[in-house]
Structure 1
Amino acid sequence: MAMVLSEYAPAGTDLFRAVKMLLIHDLVEIDAGDTFCFDVQGNQSKAEREQRAADRLFGLLPSEQGQELCQLWNEFEAQKTVTAQFATALDRIQPLLHNRQTQGGTWRIHSITRDQVIQRMQPIASGAPELWEFVQQTIETCVAAGYLKG
């Protein structure tokens, strides 16, 4: 997705670095046990589980490589660089598109509301500002279609 949406990356974004961040972020989530973003209880221990997973995964690698990947993961988590913010925006857009395509998918199963999705999508406003209007329109389309509670 990073390559397809690269034209929406803010100035100064290192696209290759963003792709690496997204891959590393996903590997850590997989190892930690991915947590549904609206699962309040599951998210309470998410950071700790992901830190343990990151330490384990990066520890399996040669020292220099493990350190490099750990730095990428930490940069993504800290959200202080334009590249990390763009990567996060893409990470948030994917489930939005998935839920639209599946007529509400997990939103309907868990009775998710417009406000919850807007709050979750907020990093897109700064990480990929040119996509924010599209995101808002998509959310409203999903509400109108009944995929998402208003």
Structure 2
Amino acid sequence: MDDDALLSDRSPFPPELDDRLRAQLTFVAEADRLKTILRASPLAAADRRENDAEHSWHLALMVLLLAEHADEPIDVGHAMRLVVIHDLVEIYAGDSPVFDPAAVVGQQEREEAAADRLFTLLPQDQAVGIRALWDEFEAGRTPEARFCKAMDRLQPMLLNWLNHGGTWQMPGATESTVRAREAGVVAASTTLGGATNALVEHGLRRGWIRPDPV
């Protein structure tokens, strides 16, 4: 299939649909690609890697359940919208594993280009609104965005813990790079930051995280 073709081009929607609904359904159809974008993180419940759609759902669940641990009051509904939207750009930009230095080169530029391509499939008012949510998450300047970024760091740490290392075993992962991810949790939640510190400390003791070279 042509790289510029949309999934909905394979089976065009009936002509009687109005333009707004057609645009919305085209976007929804294209979002199905998120299920094919594999992350580095292994699942805890199956012997395979997590995909982006599963990751986004897991983050939404974490926001719903763990919001009480946010250091700042947050609007849970707004935060859930942020995490559902934040990785959609990886449909076109792909995942960039944090412990792979080569993968993160040019990440921001790829994701900006993907956002420009993807969100403009929507009717203009919704395109503006969804792009604003993505920009808010990326900037991390609101309480909701800070907490969502914390969940985005905590979730793979939990999977790594449950897998006795997971992506902590990647060549670029050492105590300092793992703790850099932990800092994103600490920034939004004292309670959850303490929990991630415990995971890292015990991970080091068990050999699941490599110490930094001396």
Q: TM-score range by the shorter chain?
A: over 0.9
Normalising by structure 2, we get a TM-score of 0.67
Say whether the 8 Å CA contact 2:79–2:148 is kept in structure 1.
yes
Q: Would you say 1:51 and 2:103 are equivalent positions?
A: no
Q: Deviations over 1:25-68 (max 9, x none)?
A: 12123431011012212212100111111111111001111110
The residue number in structure 1 matching 2:156 is 95
What amino acid is the match of 1:75? E
The residue number in structure 1 matching 2:144 is 83
- Measured in 2, the distance between the counterparts of 1:139 and 1:28 equals 30
Cα offset, 1:111, TM superposition:
5.4
Matches within 5 A, 1:127-146: 127-146=188-207
Q: Would you say 1:31 and 2:92 are equivalent positions?
A: yes
Normalising by structure 1, we get a TM-score of 0.94
| 2:71 counterpart (3, 6, 10) | 10
The residue number in structure 2 matching 1:74 is 135
- Measured in 1, the distance between the counterparts of 2:127 and 2:105 equals 26
Moved over 3 A (4+): none
What amino acid is the match of 1:108? Q
- Measured in 1, the distance between the counterparts of 2:205 and 2:79 equals 33
With CA pairs under 8 Å and 6+ residues apart, which has the higher RCO, 1 or 2? Answer: 1
Identity %: 38
- Measured in 1, the distance between the counterparts of 2:142 and 2:202 equals 31
Which structure has the larger Rg? 2
For the aligned residue pairs, the C-alpha RMSD in angstroms reads 1.3
What amino acid is the match of 1:63? Q
Q: By percentage of residues, which structure has more helix?
A: 1
What amino acid is the match of 1:114? E
Unmatched 5+ residue regions in structure 1? Answer: none
Q: Does the residue aligned with 1:4 lie in a helix, a strand or coil? A: helix
Q: Deviations over 1:58-110 (max 9, x none)?
A: 11001111110100111111111111000000000011001111111122142
Q: Does the residue aligned with 2:209 lie in a helix, a strand or coil? A: coil
Q: How many aligned residue pairs are there?
A: 150
